[in-house]
Amino acid sequence: MKKILIVVGTRPNFIKVTRFKDVIAHYPGLEVRFVHTGQHFDDKMSQVFFDQFGLKPDFMLNIGQGTPNAQMAAVMSGLEKVCLDYMPDLLMVVGDVNSTFAAALTGNKMGIKVAHLESGLRSFDRSMPEEINRLLTDEISDYYFVTEQSGLDHLKAEGKAADRIFFVGNTMIDSLVAFEEQVKASKVLETLNVQADEFVLMTIHRPSNVDSRDGLEVLIRMISDICSHYKVVFPIHPRTVARLKQFGLWTQLEAMERLVFTEPLDYFSFQKLTATCKFVVTDSGGIQEETTYRQVPCLTLRNNTERPSTVETGSNVLVPFNPEALAMRVNEIMSGTFKKGQIPPLWDGKSTERIADVLQKIL
């Protein structure tokens, strides 16, 4: 029996691994276990995801909050103990968060083969902590599971061995496909009193957008402009609320009649909103992919993206962080002239099966 240990740490990680236990169960020579590092472990940020997906971590590190260095050190120390106990044949790390690189480095130092799920993505913006994590994780990984063509191109350009690179598609889409009936059954539209195709979904959390007064004032202007046309559903990050209150701007948002605040939402509710909204405004990474699969217009308030297929093939566009640029794209959507996106290759709900086929061959 070949043992695979998958390390997850934050909400985006969970969504990418929901199918592994069910799929690997059909491969008699493989066994998979999950270790949860514990950065996001409360009801709204983590537990609800495990409940909805029917997942239960096999190992918990419970590292909690702290500086990036402290968290990474705790991940490495805790994961080393798990690996000494479980003795995995392969450590699979997911995405681009701090625990991703910490786990990869742990495997490297312990002589355990490391596979990077969602490898090869590049924003070429080294001011983003995620970009550093992506680069360093790929540098010490042994196998590369790639979601889109750009990942293949980058890894080959960086000199990674072609026989270690596997274009498998996007496991995040596997979750969308597998749980679509539960998403459709969500009553979140009724709960929030919004009608399909008559509201905009917004998520904003990046420090560059919400950690300064100037950034927040621009954000308020953009929300106000959209609210002149549509209701805006805004699952708001606690840190964003804290910054708004710190700068005395919270009351301006509270006064907007067509702005609907929610706390962080469960997966099924959020996907129902994504599927039924007029368009999405975000600065997230994963939402660019989910909207591309659903062919919903997505306006990403960033100057770059590590997921270019969502722009080149999909329904995503990059928008400078200013009200005029956003208004131009909103007008395109309202007038019906916004581009029609397509679904990228291998985003078909079967990526986990392709990964399992590869694992059976390489282990």
Active site residues: 205
Residues 6+ apart with CB under 8 A from 265: 188, 235, 273
Give 317's strand partners: 299
| HSE-up of residue 144 (Cα within 13 Å, Cβ side) | 31
Task: Give Cα 53 to chain centroid, integer Å.
Answer: 16
- Four-CA torsion 204, 207, 208, 214, nearest 10 degrees: 80
CB contact burial 10-34 (16+ within 10 A = b; e otherwise): bbbbbbbbbbbbebbeebeebbbbb
Contact 8, 14 (CB under 8 A): yes
Q: Is 106 exposed, middle or buried (0-12, 13-18, 19+ CB in 10 A)?
A: buried
Task: Give Cα 255 to chain centroid, integer Å.
Answer: 31
d(C-alpha 286, C-alpha 275), whole Å: 14
Sequence letter at residue 321 = F
Sole residue written with tokens 């008559």: 198
CB contact burial 223-256 (16+ within 10 A = b; e otherwise): bbebbebbbbbbbbbeebeebbeeeebbeebeeb
- Four-CA torsion 59, 289, 261, 46, nearest 10 degrees: 0
Contact 305, 288 (CB under 8 A): yes
Give 314's strand partners: none
Sequence letter at residue 138 = D
